């Protein structure tokens, strides 16, 4: 039921509109959502916390695992229903489908859900203001004609077109690289995010400086494959050293990495760069070399373990994290036992585990030996129990350590502040006079499943 002027009046005026961005999925998406917000604010629009108050709603979708598309359509349905309930005076908000589902499905989304006004992929969102303007004009004309679709993967990249960053929190993300050329057989990312593209070193150092000037004390370099970063002249280890040298930056992290690209220079950086925090997220996916081959991972169980041995040799306190997939096509009980045993062997500080989800168009989706959901569920439960036990053991093993936490946000109760240890553990403290962005010396007192208890070592400021 689109197209009646009374239904579209809320978003066709030239008044600055209110927008809401809802983010699904990975850190890249969370970050992309922030950048889309920056773009819309640059147009004089105002961010609102609730979709109910918004004239423009951006749904930034994720396609990595099941039901992503279904989630998008049920969200669209909910928005339409709320708009109907609000009565004719309020009008239907403009709906923007963004992110990886938008990239994968393109115009099909608007064909199936005519309430969608704009479809924009993750490599084209720098054009969002123009797309919204075009969609407004279309709505003003009664909603005739196809929705506005932009799923180009422009060669020049979007980064040069994004506005300057707003002041950030104490811990900021910096996108250094986007896309993936690895083509793991289960993964949709190379199709939705396109080939690997690295941003130039000078631009990244300049953006890191701007983030620190805006209040960042910690920067996390993000991308689908950050350790594959190269701008032709410099490699990833060189980039780490250059960003670590930005005055005022106390902490540096990066995610996500591929085991294949963990080279000697990067290991040395972990030994030699004090700002580089002792934490590494290095997805292994499976402990079975046979399954890893079928996944096209380009590493084996042994080469992964060897990388971690070399890393621990130069940085003994490093905390390790990983990603796992259970129930990949053809995974036998013995393969799964290999996954459980690699978890035992590594001793993760934390890890993420997922049931294999066939992604349309990926090679694994067409493989023989797809497993029953019940088998996947049972394996996932066993793996998560093993990982949970390790996370608890890791947190308990750090009791007694004296270290610093970076205060990042307020806690639940008044006076509380939440910070992170170098090993990415959350700790809540009460320290009158302390504020977000402070590095506070603490002692870890107790270890829990997902956090630690800590006490400040330095007396509170007067």
Which residues are at the interface with ligand SF4 (CB under 6 A)? Answer: 180, 182-184, 187, 189-190, 224-225, 258
- Interface residue with ligand 5AD among 34, 43, 323, 446 (CB under 6 A) is 323
Which option in ligand 5AD, ligand SF4, none does residue 356 bind, with CB closer than 5 to 8 A by kind?
Answer: ligand 5AD
Handedness of CA 280, 285, 291, 297 (dihedral sign): negative
Which option in ligand SF4, ligand 5AD, none does residue 357 bind, with CB closer than 5 to 8 A by kind?
Answer: ligand 5AD
Task: Tell which phi-psi region holds residue 298, choosing left (phi > 0), alpha (psi between -120 and 50) or beta.
Answer: left
Pick from 403, 395, 415, 406: nearest CA to 441:
403
Site string for ligand 5AD, 173-212 (x = CB under 6 A): -------------xx-------------------------
* Gap between the Cα atoms of 111 and 57, Å rounded: 18
- Residue 285 interacts with ligand 5AD (CB under 6 A): yes or no: yes
Which option in ligand 5AD, ligand SF4, none does residue 328 bind, with CB closer than 5 to 8 A by kind?
Answer: none
Give residues 103-162 in contact with ligand 5AD (rule: CB under 6 A): none
- Residue 20 interacts with ligand 5AD (CB under 6 A): yes or no: no
DSSP string, 315-346: -TT-EEEEEEEE--TT--HHHHHHHHHHHHHH
Give the nearest distance from C-beta 360 to ligand SF4 in angstroms: 15
User: Please, what is the end-to-end C-alpha distance for the chain in angstroms?
Assistant: 62
- Interface residue with ligand 5AD among 143, 179, 194, 283 (CB under 6 A) is 283
Compute how many residues bind ligand 5AD; rule: CB under 6 A: 12
* Gap between the Cα atoms of 31 and 265, Å rounded: 28
Which option in ligand SF4, ligand 5AD, none does residue 191 bind, with CB closer than 5 to 8 A by kind?
Answer: none
Give the nearest distance from C-beta 118 to ligand SF4 in angstroms: 26
* Strand order from edge to edge, sheet including 218-222: 171-175, 218-222, 251-255
Selected range binding ligand 5AD among 95-103, 305-313, 356-364, 440-448, rule: CB under 6 A: 356-364
* Gap between the Cα atoms of 293 and 288, Å rounded: 9
Q: Are 340 and 382 in contact (CB under 8 A)?
A: yes
- Residue 64 interacts with ligand 5AD (CB under 6 A): yes or no: yes
Q: Is residue 84 classed as helix, strand or coil in its secondary structure? A: helix
Which option in ligand SF4, ligand 5AD, none does residue 359 bind, with CB closer than 5 to 8 A by kind?
Answer: ligand 5AD
Contacts of residue 388, Cβ cutoff 8 Å, sequence gap at least 6: 449
Exposed, middle or buried, 375 (CB in 10 Å: 0-12/13-18/19+)?
A: middle
| The two structure tokens encoding residue 107 | 């115009």
- Residue 254 interacts with ligand 5AD (CB under 6 A): yes or no: no
Residues at the contact surface with ligand 5AD, assessed by CB under 6 A: 64-65, 186-187, 283, 285, 323, 325, 354, 356-357, 359
């Amino acid at each position: 039921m689109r197209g009646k002027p009374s239904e579209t009046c809320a978003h066709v005026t030239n008044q600055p509109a209110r927008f809401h961005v809802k983010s699904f999925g990975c850190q890249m998406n969370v970050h992309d959502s922030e950048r889309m917000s920056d773009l819309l604010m640059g147009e004089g629009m105002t961010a609102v916390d609730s979709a109910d108050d918004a004239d423009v709603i951006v749904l930034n979708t994720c396609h990595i695992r099941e039901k992503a598309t279904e989630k998008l359509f049920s969200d669209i349905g909910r928005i339409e229903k709320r708009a109907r309930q609000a009565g004719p005076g309020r009008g239907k908000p403009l709906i923007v489908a963004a992110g990886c589902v938008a990239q994968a499905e393109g115009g099909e989304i608007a064909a199936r859900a005519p309430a969608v006004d704009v479809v924009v992929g993750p490599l084209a969102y720098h054009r969002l203001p123009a797309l919204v303007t075009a969609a407004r004009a279309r709505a003003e004309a009664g909603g005739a004609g196809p929705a506005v679709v932009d799923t180009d993967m422009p060669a020049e990249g979007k980064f040069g077109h994004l506005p300057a960053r707003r002041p950030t929190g104490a811990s900021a993300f910096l996108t250094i690289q986007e896309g993936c050329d690895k083509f793991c057989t289960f993964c949709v990312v190379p199709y939705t995010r396109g080939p690997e593209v690295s941003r130039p070193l000078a631009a990244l150092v300049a953006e890191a400086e701007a983030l620190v000037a805006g209040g960042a004390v910690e920067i996390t370099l993000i991308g689908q494959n950050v350790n594959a970063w190269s701008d032709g002249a410099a490699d990833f280890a060189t980039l780490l050293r250059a960003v670590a040298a930005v005055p005022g930056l106390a902490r540096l992290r990066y995610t996500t990495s591929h085991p294949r690209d963990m080279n000697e220079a990067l290991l040395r950086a972990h030994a030699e760069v004090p700002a580089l925090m002792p934490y590494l997220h290095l997805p292994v996916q499976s402990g079975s070399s046979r399954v890893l081959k079928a996944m096209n991972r380009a590493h084996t169980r042994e080469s992964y373990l060897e990388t971690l041995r070399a890393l621990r040799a130069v940085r003994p306190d490093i905390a390790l994290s990983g990603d796992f997939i259970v129930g990949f096509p053809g995974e036998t009980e013995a393969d799964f036992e290999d996954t459980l045993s690699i978890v035992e062997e590594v001793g993760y500080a934390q890890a993420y585990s997922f049931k294999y989800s066939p992604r349309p168009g990926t090679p694994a989706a067409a493989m023989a030996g797809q497993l029953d959901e019940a088998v996947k569920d049972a394996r996932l439960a066993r793996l998560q129990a093993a990982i949970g036990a390790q996370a608890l053991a890791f947190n308990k093993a750090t009791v007694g350590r004296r270290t610093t936490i970076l205060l990042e946000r307020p806690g639940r109760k008044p006076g509380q502040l939440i910070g992170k240890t170098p090993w990415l553990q959350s700790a809540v403290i009460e320290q009158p006079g302390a504020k977000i962005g402070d590095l506070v010396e603490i002692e870890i007192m107790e270890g829990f499943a997902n956090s630690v208890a800590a006490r400040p070592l330095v007396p509170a400021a007067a």
